[in-house]
Chains A and B, each alone.
Chain A
Amino acid sequence: MADFLQLTVSGLSTGMIYALAAAGFVVIYKASDVINFTQGDLLLLGTYLIFFAVAQIGLPWSLGVLVTILLAVAVALAIERLVLRPLIGEPIISMIMVTIGLSSILRGLVNAIWGPAPRSFESFLPEGSVVLGPAVLSTGRLLSIPIALVVLAALWLFFRHTRDGIAMRAIADDQQAALSMGISIPRVFGVAWGLAAASAAIGGIMLGNIVGVTPNVAAIGLHVFPVVILGGLDSIRGAVVGGALIGLLEAYTGGYVGHGLNLVVPYAVLILVLMVRPYGLFGKEIIERV
C-alpha cells in the first residue's frame, strides 16, 4: 500500500510534467499543424535557464521564474519567426525534420554553454515530506501536481475565453476562413509558440527542482508522443489525462515489473491506441476526401 501510494504520487507528478510538455505540443499542433520535436529541448532550456537565473545570477526564485519564462518565450518567438514561418505550407516531412534540426541546435547550444555535467540549485519548492498513513511522500513532488494543473487550467481557459485563444481555434478549424475573417495568422502562430515555450519552461522549472539539472531532461521530449496520441493530438484535456495515465503506467511498470519495461510500455500503448483509435481519447476525428 505504501509502495502503491508512493508510485502513484511519483507517477502523477511525472505525468503532470509530461502534460505540460504535451500541452505545448498540442497548442502548436492545433494552431499551425506543426509537429514539434523540440518540446523536450524547450523543457531542457527551462531547467538550465532557471539554474542560470537562480544559481548563477543569484536572483530570488520568484524573479528567476519570471526571467526563465520570458527568456524561453523569446527563444520560441525567434524560432517561429526565423525558421517556422518560411516553411508554412510545406509537407509534413519538412516540418518534422525542421523541428528535429532545431532540437539538435538547441541541445548543442545548451551543452556548449553549460557543459554536459549535471548541475543543481537549491530547490525552492518546500523540502521535506508528508507522511500519509504508511507512505512518505516528498512535498516537492506533491506540490508539482497542483502547480501543473493550475497552468493547464489557465491554458484551457485561454482557449475558451480570450480573443487570441478563439482566433487559434478558428485557425485550427479552417485556416482560409479564419484568414478571410481578418485573423492574423503569423500573430496567432507566434502566440502559440510563446505559450508552448512558457508551459514547457514551467515544466522545466519543476523538473529542475525535483530531479536536478541534467542534459537527459531532453529525452522527455519523446515521451510527449505517447501522451498526445493517447489524449488526442488537438486536445488540452487529452494532454492532462494522457499525461497522468502515461506517468502512472510508467511508475507502476517500473515499480512492480522492472526490467526497464517502463521505458517501452508507453510505446506499446501508443501503437495500440493508433491501431484502435488513432485520434485518441479526446481528439477530433478527421475525415479525408480527395
Chain B
Amino acid sequence: MSERVPSDELARRVREGNLRAAARLITRVEAGEDECRPALAELYRHTGHAHVVGITGVPGCGKSTLVSQLARTLRADGRRVGIVAIDPSSPFSGGAILGDRIRMSDLVEDPGVFIRSMATRGALGGLAKASLDAVDILDAAGFDTILIETVGVGQDEVDIVQAAQSTVVVSAPGLGDDIQAIKAGVLEIADIHVVSKADRADANRTVMELKTMLTMSMPSGPDQWYTPVVATSSEKCTGFDELRDAIDRHRAHLIDSGELENKRSEIAANRMLKIAEGIVREDFRREREADLADVLGRVSRRETDPHAGAVELLAVVNSRIRHESTADPVQ
C-alpha cells in the first residue's frame, strides 16, 4: 500500500476481512480525517454481529494478561478475536506509551487475532474517542468477539458499560478491604467479576468479599442475571474456560431476555450524545480563547466568582458560534 487508497475502498476491503485495510482505516478515524467518515457510516450498517466485551479494572490488576489468555481460550473454539487495548496519553505532551501488547505477544502471528493499541488523547472515562469506531471496523471485518481493554481505571471511570455488551471487572487480591467493595463506582458496573492472580494466597478472601457485596444487591426472579465471580490465574492458566462460559451465558441471557436490543440502543444513544458533546466542547475550546483572558482576570482578582465567570464565558461563546453559523453557513 504505497499510494493512498480512498477510505471507501478500504471499507470494501475491510468487509472482505482484509486486516491491513482495517488497520489503516482505524488510523484515519483516530486521526480525525474527514475523508473516512462516509466509509465508516457505510461500515456501521454492517456491524452488530460481534459480541463486544469490555475488560476494566485498576492499573496493574492484570487486564492485559487476562485479555491475552481469554483470547487464546476463545481461539481454541475457533472464534476470531479483535482486541482494542487503550492506554493513557500524557496530559502534558499528548504522547503515549502503549504497553498492552507486551502481554499479548504470543497472539501476534495468529491471523484470527487482531490487536490494536490506542491512546486516550485526552478522553476521560477509560476509553479513547475512536475506540468504538475501531470496534465497528473489526466487527465489520468479521471478528466474532471484540475485547475492549480500558485504561487502568480509578473508581468512577465507567464509560465501558456504555460501550460494551458485557462488562468484566477485574480485581486483584490484596487491594483493599470489604469496605472498598461496597463503595460506589467501578465494581457496580460488572456483569462478571474476575479475581485475577488467583494463585495468590489472599485471592480467596477477595472472591468472598465480592460475593458478599453481591448478596447485598441480589436480583430476584428467574430471568435476572446473577453476577458471577470467576477466579483466574494467568500463571497457572486456570479459570479461563469458566470466564469464557460466563461471558457466553451473559450473552445468552441478553438475547433470551430481550435486553440485547435495549443495550444496543443505549450504546448507540450514549455514543451519539458523546460525539455531540465533543463537537460542542471543541467549538467552545476554540471560540473561548480570545475571551478567556478578560473573564479569567476578573475571576482571579475576585471581581467575579468562577460560576458567574463560566456563565458569562458561555454566553459570549454561544452568541459568537450562533452568529457564525448564520452569517457564514458554508466554509
| A complexed with B | no
